[in-house]
Amino acid sequence: MEQHSQSKAELEPLDQPGLLRAFSGLQSKATILVVALTMTVTVAVSGYLLRTTAATARTQQELQMIEVASLISRASAGMMYKRDAKGLVDLAEELANGSPLLFVVFADIKGHVLAKGEHTHISSTAVVLQHREQDRASIGQPIHYAGDGVHPSFFRIDYPVTWRGISDGRDVAQLVGYARIGMSVEEWERTISGTMDMLSGVGVIAVAVAIPIGFLLVRRLIKPLQLLAGSMQSFSEGKLDVRSNVKSLDEIGDLALTFNRMADQHQRTHRRLVKLNAELEERVSKRTRQLRELASREPLTGLYNRRHFNEVLDRAFSEALRYEGDLACIMIDLDEFKKVNDQLGHQAGDGVLLCAATTIRSQLRGADLAARYGGDEFVVLLPQTNTDRAYVLAERIGGRFAEEMAHHDPPLSTGMSMGIASLTGLKSRTPDELVRAADRALYRAKAEGKNCIASANLTPHLDS
């Protein structure tokens, strides 16, 4: 019992509300978050600055090397053009004895070494190995070689040597060889190393300073940030009319104002996108209808093709059966059409087909459908039409077409033979049977003198 009381007494200080709040409150958590964020940003920025500094220093080194190589190229152009071996050797040795050049090699356009000069502390074996590399893709671009403990780190560049002069009264430029140059980078590497050490120290100091500053600022920052975060959360959930009420005159207020402006812009953009999307859908729908219409049309006459006719026939036939209506079909064939093609040519035949299609279309109602069935055959589908009314329409079409052919230059004897069938009286009630019945009536009209009309239940009738 005494031991239990002692354990309880030892745990009692840890259960104080103030202590718990100090370590688990929002301010402490936010402070830890700020410090962690500061550390993360500091590390990221330091890393970026390190990479940027190293890249900038290397770029400057490479530009300096290219500039030096260009100067050496111009200085040696005349001697290489004249094949002045002694002058090239003297120039190479003079340049290589200076700093920071480690070696200078002059080679002809085939890569054969003409002269070279090497710094005293550079192994001639290492220089020769570098001389034997042939990488034409790297001409004019510095290449970095890391040190191996024996040979120092250096940059190498192969630079073209071009002689410019006057030949036959004209300025000419001629590639006469290459200058291969090695430049020490030890000083550059020491500078980069020192910069890295300095940035690391700055990063550590920045993190150390951020801890107390972050703790002092969290209490003031936490409330407006929460309000702003709540507005952003609502906005992200699709409530585009939500705006932040934070009015402070600090960076949080600027952030809230920026958010509100962004929300306004986003809402306007959203409205425009919704409108544009509706317009685009309408355009796509309209274009789809146009393409569907074009795909269902026969190009010469502009009438519907046989495939589209069969699709409409199935629907119209089903509707006629469902609502106990009638449906008529007229099959039309042009008489003596082959004679027109043979005597006047296919262009005249196309004109007759186009005239027949125009005539048929001009006599139809909005609900009727005309299609080119094949060759010189046409088919007309008449919803809610019986045989007698279809017969009257067929007479109008045939008469109108006869008038057009009489006015043709030259006049043509081409006429129309037509067969009519309707849903009423069909023994087998299928769409194909309706078309076949009209087709059989057409053949009967052709057999009984042409240029006439026949139906499944009427006698042939001459148009004359």
pLDDT, tens digit, for every residue of 156-176?
Answer: 788 888 888 776 777 778 888
Residue of 368, 376, 439, 463 marked catalytic: 376
SS3 at position 377: strand
pLDDT band for position 245 (cuts 50, 70, 90): confident
Cα–Cα distance between 403 and 359 in angstroms, integer? 10
Cβ proximity of 417 and 452 under 8 Å: yes
0.95 exceeded by the pTM? no
Backbone φ and ψ of 447, nearest 5°: -75, -25
**Integer Cα distance of 377 and 232 in angstroms:** 69
pLDDT recorded at residue 241? 81
Q: Residue 2 — pLDDT band, cuts 50, 70, 90?
A: very low
Q: Respond yes or no: is residue 254 known to be catalytic.
A: no
The CATH number, out of the four listed (1.10.260.40, 3.60.150.10, 3.30.70.270, 1.10.490.10), of the domain defined by the range 306-462 = 3.30.70.270
Q: Which residues contact 132 (CB under 8 A, 6 or more apart)?
A: none
Give the residue with greater pLDDT, 188 vs 324: 324
Label residue 148 exposed, middle or buried (CB < 10 Å: 0-12, 13-18, 19+): exposed
* Residue 27: predicted pLDDT: 60
pLDDT at 138 over 90: no
